[in-house]
Structure 1
Amino acid sequence: MDLTRSRAANERLHSVVPGGAHTYAKGDDQYPEGMAPVIAHGSGAHVWDVDGNRYIEYGSGLRAVSLGHAHPRVTEAVRRELDRGSNFVRPSIIELDAAERFLATVPTAEMVKFAKNGSDATTAAVRLARAATGRRLVALCRDQPFFSTDDWFIGTTPMNAGIPEQDVVSFPYGDLAATEELISRYDGQIACLILEAATQQDPPPGYLAGLRDLADRTGCLLVFDEMITGFRWSEAGAQGVYGVTPDLSTFGKALGNGFAVSALAGRRDLMELGGLRDTRERVFLLSTTHGAETHALAAAMAVLATYTEEGIAARLHALGERLAAGVRAAAAAMGVGDHVVVRGRASNLVFATLDSNLRPSQEYRTLFLRQLITRGVLGPSFVVSSALSEMDIDHTVDAVAQACAVYRKALDLDDPGPWLGGRPVRPVFRRFA
């Protein structure tokens, strides 16, 4: 595989963009050395790099492009709006239409406000919770990887340089007793509990309902981060699957199919603190110049319509189940079923790469990624888009089988080194480059 142009483009990127990418998770340190393609264009479930190599792509746009690249219904809706103007001095009618469409799709919410990225939406939820409760502490789920680029969250990660100490405490996912103990320890100080309702597994029975009851009893707010679960779990998000209504919830990623749009949604009495029809002290909630760009809201409306009319969430689950079964069978057939492990909900699959002692290994991840890339599969995860075909899934499973054959050789040597091609991939959150 020739990646000459991609390597040159990566060097140029590092000279003008810190980290060589505008999102750390897209950095070339997340890929085997010299094997990080720079994308030229995409269509459906496929992308082409600047060298002309074609890949089946998973985790498209960090889970944002769930319908596939350049989805015709979405791009047509965007084109129509571009000719009508993208931003005005007053709200456009599409802001009303998009809000009504969103609330019809997520009926557990009573009001919604749009923004451009998920971090702004989650930070607005935290600010609103603090204002509504008069409390300062935020309790976040420590078992979940990301909530915001803002200080209140990044200050809790190893990349906390330049951030003062934050008023944040944490609780473990799935442990209701531990959460209750935390709230008791900080009696009357916790403004909200913020978490993803589910990640790699469904919540334990009664857990989310227990959090709802705990928040009600102790006066804090329950906030669901639905950036990933929103629409991938169901058209109404995880709250629609599990039947528990949060006070506030945040959406993004799949909402725009790659276009920049996110949403904060929730109870009317809370959201009105950022409005003009409330007598309480005002909250500066979300106020962004580009928060209501017409073409992004048109994309969101097209996405919501496509999901509900075409049963996209069900298709994502069906594709994921087919892929997971194929990968597990291929890994087992090569004798690495305990080492290449597929996890997560079918619509949101990830994989773990374990060493000979069944410990997570960046070296074995590097080997696995390298083998997939050379066989035309760009798979930092196995998160599916609805544009994948059965032929794409079959090709992926075949590539996995060949990668697992190499994985077996490395395990037999107890050394993946000969197949790394350079330094191993690295975790995003680390203190030093």
Structure 2
Amino acid sequence: MDTEEFQLPRSQAANERLHAMIPGGAHTYAKGDDQYPENLAPVISHGRGAHVWDVDGNRYIEYGSGLRSVSLGHAHPRVTEAVRREIDRGSNFVRPSIVEAEAAERFLATVPTAEMVKFAKNGSDATTAAVRLARAATGRPRVAICGDQPFFSVDDWFIGSTPMSAGIPSAITDLTVAFPYGDLAATEELLARYQDEVACLILEPAGHTEPPPGYLTGLRELADRHGCVLVFDEMISGFRWSEAGAQGLYGVVPDLSTFGKALGNGFAISALAGCRELMERGGLRHLDDRVFLLSTTHGAETHSLAAAMAVQTTYVEEGITAQLHALGERLAVGVREAATGMGVGDHVVVRGRASNLVFATLDENGQPSQQYRTLFLRRLLAGGVLAPSFVVSSALSDADIDHTVDAVAQACAVYRKALDVGDPTSWLGGRPVKPVFRRLA
């Protein structure tokens, strides 16, 4: 066991301050210090490009930046300049800004499968608006979610289906049902079981694996045949799969889709997009019952809309999606070679599309292990790599990836020692990291 101890005393003190005032010590559960080894949860001072610095003065190469939202790197000059320009002109008014029209035009040109768009601040608002709109349009109560995917919204219709369902009445949770990804027969059986009750199918069109051949087309046909709305959650796949999202890459058009994360490169903006027939129900030019679609005080702040326009321009003009895939491929090859070279190729496993890589840490029986994840994260942090995932940003350099692969190799050497003794406890430094969705703290 390496006796050199990596410590973060100022981050520890800052985490105590955070917990004293903020439930969970963070504003997103996935950023909680329970997701990191004990006493090794860095509190960030600032970031630039692919690097962040903690309050202890350590610099890290960062992956999964801003929970996948900062895909161009921190403080990207084109984005920050666009934001500064709009801030000097005012950010929020009593009537729509012309920037709202410009941002909508830019979005619909980038995602041509959509006919209308409405902006908000976070992904949950957009997905919940999609669910509400689907229920209004169909007159049906149930929502069918893809049960193999981890997250759709903070709102009751989804959180009630997780282990953290405290405070949500069963009358609400009973209206959410689940279907498995990639299994059209099981989905059709679900729709038949709840005939004329399911308002929508909502899923991420792609995740850690590619859609099986014909799957998304088959879902489109099922939704049409059963009269429900097909919703693609493109919070992650938007821009990372293609500038027009997974729907643009795979050529399957949903009725509604939601975007966020990469759309603002860290600035708060999300989008609900879709066909005019449905979206207009949230507007003023129709004869049906009005749908309270999205109405947010800060949803159209001009600086966030400017950020989104700069992001889209940068993606298109600089070929960012292709860059993300190339960087991810280089990283995946390097990590796999490092793991194999240290004899843990079957235990440290890289998965997912190159632009959206994650890793699994498996024990001696090939089962997912929070203990081995803790060991792995500890060694990466000590090596200057902050990596809850291996999701890349375009700001990474080849040198950053080479450094990451070296840190992975060192971590895998310790991983091999732990496997050899059949117990990683000596290398944990405290309690193991924990899953986000669990019933008890």
Same fold (TM over 0.5): yes
Give the residue type in structure 1 aligned to 2:94: V
Match of 1:374 in 2: 382
CA distance in 2, matches of 1:162, 1:215: 32
Q: Are 2:17 and 1:12 aligned?
A: yes
CA distance in 2, matches of 1:333, 1:274: 57
Aligned match for 2:26, one of 4, 21, 35: 21
CA distance in 1, matches of 2:133, 2:147: 21
Deviation readout 1:61-103 (Å, 9 max, x if unpaired):
0000000000000000000000000000000000000000000
1:3 CA displacement: 1.1
Give the residue type in structure 2 aligned to 1:170: A
Match of 2:196 in 1: 188
CA distance in 2, matches of 1:431, 1:211: 32
- Check the 8 A contact 1:139/1:170 in 2, yes or no: yes
Match of 1:135 in 2: 140
Alignment map for 1:155-174 (pairs within 5 Å)? 155-165=160-170, 166=172, 167-174=175-182
CA distance in 2, matches of 1:305, 1:316: 16
Q: Are 2:407 and 1:399 aligned?
A: yes
CA distance in 2, matches of 1:422, 1:223: 42
Q: Are 2:227 and 1:225 aligned?
A: no
Aligned match for 2:270, one of 251, 258, 262: 262
1:105 CA displacement: 0.2
Q: Are 2:253 and 1:248 aligned?
A: no
Give the residue type in structure 2 aligned to 1:158: P
- Check the 8 A contact 1:336/1:407 in 2, yes or no: yes
1:52 CA displacement: 0.5
Match of 2:3 in 1: none
Give the residue type in structure 2 aligned to 1:342: V
- Check the 8 A contact 1:253/1:262 in 2, yes or no: yes
CA distance in 2, matches of 1:327, 1:13: 34
- Check the 8 A contact 1:2/1:51 in 2, yes or no: no
Alignment map for 1:280-429 (pairs within 5 Å)? 280-429=288-437
Deviation readout 1:244-288 (Å, 9 max, x if unpaired):
000000000000000000000000010000001001100000000
Give the residue type in structure 2 aligned to 1:162: G
Q: Which moved more, 1:116-125 or 1:159-168?
A: 159-168
Aligned match for 1:100, one of 101, 105, 115: 105
Deviation readout 1:320-346 (Å, 9 max, x if unpaired):
000000000000000000000000000
Match of 1:111 in 2: 116
Across the two proteins, how many residue pairs are aligned to each other? 433
- Check the 8 A contact 1:366/1:420 in 2, yes or no: yes
Which SS does the other structure have where 1:223 is aligned?
Answer: strand
Aligned match for 1:90, one of 92, 95, 98: 95
CA distance in 1, matches of 2:359, 2:440: 25
CA distance in 2, matches of 1:18, 1:53: 26
Normalising to structure 1: TM-score of the pair? 1.00
Match of 1:152 in 2: 157
Which SS does the other structure have where 1:235 is aligned?
Answer: coil
Match of 1:46 in 2: 51
CA distance in 1, matches of 2:189, 2:12: 51
Give the residue type in structure 2 aligned to 1:79: R
CA distance in 2, matches of 1:428, 1:85: 38
Q: Are 2:226 and 1:211 aligned?
A: no
CA distance in 1, matches of 2:244, 2:340: 36
Give the residue type in structure 2 aligned to 1:213: E
CA distance in 2, matches of 1:7, 1:169: 41
Which SS does the other structure have where 2:45 is aligned?
Answer: strand
CA distance in 2, matches of 1:307, 1:358: 39
Give the residue type in structure 1 aligned to 2:71: S
Match of 2:74 in 1: 69
Match of 1:273 in 2: 281
Which SS does the other structure have where 1:139 is aligned?
Answer: strand
Deviation readout 1:100-123 (Å, 9 max, x if unpaired):
000000000000000000000000
Which SS does the other structure have where 1:304 is aligned?
Answer: helix
Q: Are 2:81 and 1:81 aligned?
A: no
CA distance in 2, matches of 1:218, 1:42: 48
The answer for unaligned runs of 5 or more in structure 1 is: none
Which SS does the other structure have where 2:366 is aligned?
Answer: coil
Deviation readout 1:159-215 (Å, 9 max, x if unpaired):
000001221100000000000000000011100000000000110000000000011
CA distance in 2, matches of 1:105, 1:428: 34
CA distance in 1, matches of 2:87, 2:203: 36
- Check the 8 A contact 1:135/1:191 in 2, yes or no: yes
Give the residue type in structure 1 aligned to 2:307: A
Which SS does the other structure have where 2:213 is aligned?
Answer: coil
Q: Are 2:36 and 1:31 aligned?
A: yes
Deviation readout 1:15-71 (Å, 9 max, x if unpaired):
000000000000000000000000000000000000100000000000000000000
The answer for unaligned runs of 5 or more in structure 2 is: 1-5
1:311 CA displacement: 0.4
Normalising to structure 2: TM-score of the pair? 0.98
Which SS does the other structure have where 1:396 is aligned?
Answer: helix
- Check the 8 A contact 2:7/2:39 in 1, yes or no: no
Give the residue type in structure 2 aligned to 1:156: S
Deviation readout 1:303-323 (Å, 9 max, x if unpaired):
000001100000000000000
CA distance in 2, matches of 1:241, 1:86: 34
Match of 2:208 in 1: 200
1:2 CA displacement: 4.0
- Check the 8 A contact 2:7/2:40 in 1, yes or no: no
Q: Are 2:412 and 1:431 aligned?
A: no
Give the residue type in structure 2 aligned to 1:331: A
